[in-house]
Amino acid sequence: MSWPQFEPLGECSLIVRWEQKIDQSLNARVHALARAIAAAALPGIEEIVPGYASLLLRFDPTYWGGQCAHAHEALRSRIEPMLRQAYPALSGEILEIEVRYGGADGPDLVALADAHGLDPHEFVARHCAPTYQVAMLGFAPGFPYLLGLDVRLHSPRRSTPRVRVPAGSVAIGGAQTGIYPSELPGGWHLIGRTRIRLFDAARKPPCLLKPGDRVRFVPIDGPAGASSEPGA
């Protein structure tokens, strides 16, 4: 069982980091610790941000013992015991997302399939096969980082990022796949697009997906949309 490192990130933040690894069970630990810290309602905690294999705590050091330099230590000693608690696997809902692959919706599909020595249809089939798990939301509002990409599809990021990636683009970056919730700059390869609205600040909750949810991509030919059904 791995024990995380505690690392200050500036004066008012603390990173709890397990390993530099994308791994489902590490990610479950991250979210379990995030829940435990939230439940403990510690004073002065402004934000708990889970990552893949790390967790960021933003806090007001004045709540953690006059001398700021000791705040990180004080916080650490409160959190460490929480690491001994059992951590349940993340659970969530299953969502099917319709994607139109290739063409104008996925301008990088053919070249990327080619680079992997795969036929584009085979590439799409491999992208649709897994049930992905939402590891975290980050990068931009509602951007889901999805775990479970077929190793054959791992692809280094584009050497030059795009200035504008259209909203709904389904993309691959390294060992990760994700969906751009809005028009953003981005360096991932675009293989398809969905019309599903992942983020809406006026909606409650604003994000369609949360960590622990599972996602299946369903290829379609017509206009891309989304359907949400239980079971898979």
Partner 1 sequence: MTVSVLAGGLCSTVQDLGRVGYGAIGVGRAGALDQDALCLANSLVGNAPGAAGMEITLAGPRLKFETGAAFALCGAPFDIRLDGRSLEAWRSHRAFAGSVLEFTQARSGARAWLALAGGIDLPCVLGSRSTDLNAGLGPLPRTLNPGDRLPLGAPSDRPKENAPRWSLDPRPWFATADASPLRLLPGRDLPQLEQRSLDVLCRQPFRISATSNRVALRLDGDPLQFRHSLECVSEPLVEGVVQLPPDGRPMILLGEHPVSGGYPCIGIIAAVDHARLAQARPGAAVRFTLISAAEAHRLREERQRARSELMAHIRRRLEQA
# residues near partner 1 by CB under 8 A: 51
Q: Pick the closer one to partner 1 by CB: 109 or 172.
A: 172
Question: For partner 1, which stretch binds (CB under 8 A), given 5-13, 82-90, 110-118, 222-230?
Answer: 5-13
- CA 20 – CA 18 distance, rounded (Å): 7
| Residue 121, both tokens | 């249809």
Backbone angle region of 103, left / alpha / beta, with phi > 0 → left and psi within -120 to 50 → alpha: left
Tokens 């059992």 belong to 86
Question: For partner 1, which stretch binds (CB under 8 A), given 44-52, 86-94, 113-121, 213-221?
Answer: 44-52
Of 35, 36, 44, 56, the one binding partner 1 by CB under 8 A: 56
Site string for partner 1, 129-148 (x = CB under 8 A): -------xxxxxxxx-x---
Is 59 one of the binding residues for partner 1 (CB under 8 A)? no
- Rounded to the nearest whole angstrom, what is the least distance from the CB of residue 125 to partner 1 in the complex? 27
Of 59, 188, 199, 217, the one binding partner 1 by CB under 8 A: 199
> What's the one-letter identity of residue 166?
P
Is 65 one of the binding residues for partner 1 (CB under 8 A)? no
Is 17 one of the binding residues for partner 1 (CB under 8 A)? yes
| Residue 90, both tokens | 């993340």
- CA 101 – CA 117 distance, rounded (Å): 18
Of 25, 46, 89, 227, the one binding partner 1 by CB under 8 A: 46
- Rounded to the nearest whole angstrom, what is the least distance from the CB of residue 51 to partner 1 in the complex? 5
Question: For partner 1, which stretch binds (CB under 8 A), given 48-56, 98-106, 114-122, 218-226?
Answer: 48-56
Q: Could you give the angle at the alpha carbon of 48 between the alpha carbons of 171 and 228, nearest 5°?
A: 45
Task: Specify the DSSP class assigned to residue 156.
Answer: P
Backbone angles phi, psi at 10, to 5 degrees: 75, -170
Evaluate whether 75 touches 40 at the Cβ level (below 8 Å): no
Q: What is the DSSP string of 74-112?
A: HHHHHHGGGGGS--PPP---EEEEEEEESTTT-TTHHHH
Is 188 one of the binding residues for partner 1 (CB under 8 A)? no
Of 2, 11, 25, 129, the one binding partner 1 by CB under 8 A: 11
- CA 35 – CA 47 distance, rounded (Å): 12
- Rounded to the nearest whole angstrom, what is the least distance from the CB of residue 25 to partner 1 in the complex? 15
> What's the one-letter identity of residue 196?
I
Residue 50's nearest CA partner among 42, 38, 40 is 38
Q: Which residues bind partner 1 (CB under 8 A)?
A: 7-13, 15, 17, 20-22, 34, 46-56, 58, 61-62, 67-69, 71, 136-143, 145, 174, 176, 181-183, 199, 201-202, 205-207
